[in-house]
Amino acid sequence: MSRALVVRVVAFGEADAVITFFTETLGKIAAMARGARKSHRRFAAALEPMHTVKVTVDERPGAELFGLREAMVVTPRVHILADLDRMNAAGKALRWARGGSPNRTPEADVWIELETLLDRLNDPADPLPPGTHLAASGLRMLRHFGYGLELDACVRCGRPCDLARSAFVDAGVGGLICQACGGGHGTHHHLVDAATRGRLSAAAAGRDAALVREDTTVAQKLVDEALAGHAGVDE
């Protein structure tokens, strides 16, 4: 039994579904949900994304898929479902978690990060835009996965970057690349000014409010490219 988040649902046959869960104790797993599409009463809303659910699964020797025995919602997040921007932010975060997580490998820090993000997105009184929380959380997810961006020194030669200067960032190779090491010549080399680098670093350290609106697009692109480069995730 484990708390879990639904990160993908794929129809199987006429009545069944293969559900990919990001779980607290087992990591990312896939489970066969028999009759999930035929009887809505069996699992009710437990197979919808956004909510935290508690699942009971059976592991069959030699089988790739678990069997889903029971699923129930333990933390509903109805406010996310009522707002398109919140839904889009939550959906992207779930895709990041699915793409960055290896199968059957617990990721405790990523679990906490993702649950915290979803709770913030579900809070109608939260003053920050959904995209701001998403961008900051994505930068932290990279760090939890071991792909955190180096924004202070060149990832190739280790030379520190002047804090007052713009620099090229290639998230797929881990962060800053100085011009002497080829910065500016790659397809995914983004010129990021010093102020933006400082705000991205602050957000990665936990200060979501450090980001301004313009930073969110940059940060999300960097997260996408880092996961594509390190984990083979193609958004």
Considering only residues 142 and 230, tell me which one the structure prediction assigns the higher pLDDT: 142
Task: Please give the full DSSP string across 91-153, using - where no structure is assigned.
Answer: HHHHHHHHHHPPBT---HHHHHHHHHHHHHHT-TT--S-HHHHHHHHHHHHHHHHT---B-SB
Q: Is residue 204 domain-resident?
A: no
Q: Is residue 226 domain-resident?
A: no
In this prediction, residue 63 has a pLDDT band, given cuts at 50, 70 and 90, of: confident
Residues 71-97 have pLDDT tens digits of 999 999 999 999 999 999 999 999 999
Q: Is residue 70 domain-resident?
A: yes
In this prediction, residue 66 has a pLDDT band, given cuts at 50, 70 and 90, of: very high
Q: Is residue 123 domain-resident?
A: yes
What CA–CA distance (Å, rounded) separates 12 from 121? 31
Q: Find the CATH number of the domain harbouring 63.
A: 2.40.50.140
Domain with 108, as residue range(s), is: 2-127
Q: Is residue 232 domain-resident?
A: no
Q: Is residue 72 domain-resident?
A: yes
What CA–CA distance (Å, rounded) separates 139 from 145? 10
Residue 234 pLDDT > 70 = no
Whole-structure pTM value: 0.93
Q: Is residue 156 domain-resident?
A: no
Residues 2-40 have pLDDT tens digits of 999 999 999 998 889 999 999 999 999 999 999 887 766
Residues 174-198 have pLDDT tens digits of 999 999 999 999 999 999 999 999 9
| Total number of domains constituting the chain | 1
Q: Is residue 188 domain-resident?
A: no
- Cβ neighbours, 10 Å, residue 168: 22
